[in-house]
Amino acid sequence: MKPMRLALVFFSIFTLFILPTSADVLKVVVNDAIHPITAEYISRALQTAAANHDQAVLIEINTPGGLVDSTRDIMEKIIASPVPVILYVTPSGSRAASAGFFILESADVAAMAPGTNTGAAHPVMMGGKMDDVMKQKMENDAAALMRSVVAKRGRNVELAESAVRESKSFTEQEALDKKLIEYIASGEQDLFRQMNGKSLRRFNGEAIKLNLADQPVVDYRMTLKQQILSYIMDPNVAFILLAIGALALYAEFNHPGAVIPGTVGIVFILLAAFALNLLPTRFAALVLIAGAFMLFALEAKFVSHGVLTIGGITLLMIGGLLLVDGPIPEMRVRLLTALAVSIPLGAITAFLMSIAVRARRNKITTGEQGLIGEVGITQTPLSPAGKVFVHGEIWDAFSPVNLPAGERIVVRHVDGLTLQVEPLPSAVPAMVHP
């Protein structure tokens, strides 16, 4: 019997280490617009909770809405999650509007804090005004999605659909009274206590009970990569990165070999390109931005007394405003951002361009080219060769015509250490240094 008992002990220790022992609540905090990085964050949290066999996932949300594709992705992950998902609109004063309402209704448990609101989920087409047929298609598609999810959760289908078709919004009390949510709670522990012992129905129809009161809550935070990408997904940040990157590249082109401006420009433009690739970008706006820089360059070449610069600033501002065609104002470039970037950037770019053009136009004053056009005086007769005094030095020179000593001359060509000179026209004053 002793070997059997020893085997049982070893087996118990072995299973203690290999079997998942976590029974925590994994908490996810979403305090931003819904975009691909948000979807990735929630998806990985749900995968982690499933791998750890956590009791539940708590998603605390405060969002104005977001992109349809990202919203559908999140809903699919929540519905398919083997771990029950609790959506909690918090803190007081926050909201789960538009896309947030869809995500709220897709959860196993929907809850709101006092002083919050939800709804206003009518779909908005990106790219301007839509025709009636397309508008109806989008509305019907969104309404059907809402009906299918809400019906499975046992909530008020008709009222949920009205949030889509009529953009209705609801306070937390209205949502509770009309069976759009299950709980109003002042905090997560208050929510868990209210849920204790109560049955909830999962999407597959299975009824379960959760006892989460006093259970440990583990924060699942974004990785550093996700934090950075989520930050640059702000259209205002993406526009600023694009504008600064373009200015830095312009500085590098005008000062080849500086390296630092070129490196900064490439990094900033690539970061902006990443964000714009995931955001609903109007590529015609990029053409406007490129046109703005062309006008800045023309201002330096042709003196327009600021007309071209003003045109460039206007194009840059319009391009910035139209750059990201988000479904909600929070996913578009703000007017203040467009102005704050366009005016200083236009002034700086035009100034740098004018300096570069003036530098190119300046006469070269060093080397062989610096001697051409210099005025001097013959030291010996030129017939046709002799000596001349130019630029503080005595040079060998020859002239196509014979010249006496003391004659004023001008340098026309440099051939090694010999100057080709001509008589100085009388209208041109001599500038020699005897």
Contact criterion met (CB below 8 Å) for 66 and 103: no
Please provide the CATH number assigned to the domain covering 20-223: 3.90.226.10
Q: What is the residue whose two structure tokens read 């999810």?
A: 149
Backbone angles phi, psi at 10, to 5 degrees: -60, -40
Q: Please give the Cα distance from 403 to 237 (Å, whole number).
A: 70
pLDDT at 17 over 50: no
Mean pLDDT of the residues in the chain: 85
Positive or negative torsion for Cα 377, 382, 384, 390: negative
Query: Which segments of 154-255 does DSSP mark as H helices, in order?
Result: 157-165, 172-177, 188-195, 224-232, 235-254
Q: Is 381 helix (H, G, I), strand (E, B) or coil?
A: coil
Q: Virtual CA dihedral for 375, 378, 379, 380, nearest 10 degrees?
A: 160
Query: Which pLDDT value is given to residue 260?
Result: 87
Query: Which pLDDT value is given to residue 259?
Result: 80
- Which has the higher per-residue pLDDT, 329 or 41? 41
pLDDT at 359 over 70: no
- Mean pLDDT is lowest, of 21-35, 85-99, 362-376, for 362-376
Sorted by where each begins, the domain ranges of the chain are 20-223, 234-361, 367-423
pLDDT at 366 over 50: yes
Query: Which pLDDT value is given to residue 13?
Result: 44
Q: Please give the Cα distance from 255 to 362 (Å, whole number).
A: 16
pLDDT at 431 over 50: no
Q: Is 174 helix (H, G, I), strand (E, B) or coil?
A: helix
Under the banding of pLDDT at 50, 70 and 90, the label for residue 51 is very high
Q: How confident is the model over 96-146, as pLDDT tens digits?
A: 999 999 999 999 999 999 999 999 888 876 555 566 777 788 889 999 999
Query: Which pLDDT value is given to residue 5?
Result: 53
Amino acid at 188: E
Say which CATH architecture domain 367-423 belongs to: Beta Barrel (2.40)
pTM: 0.73
pLDDT at 245 over 50: yes
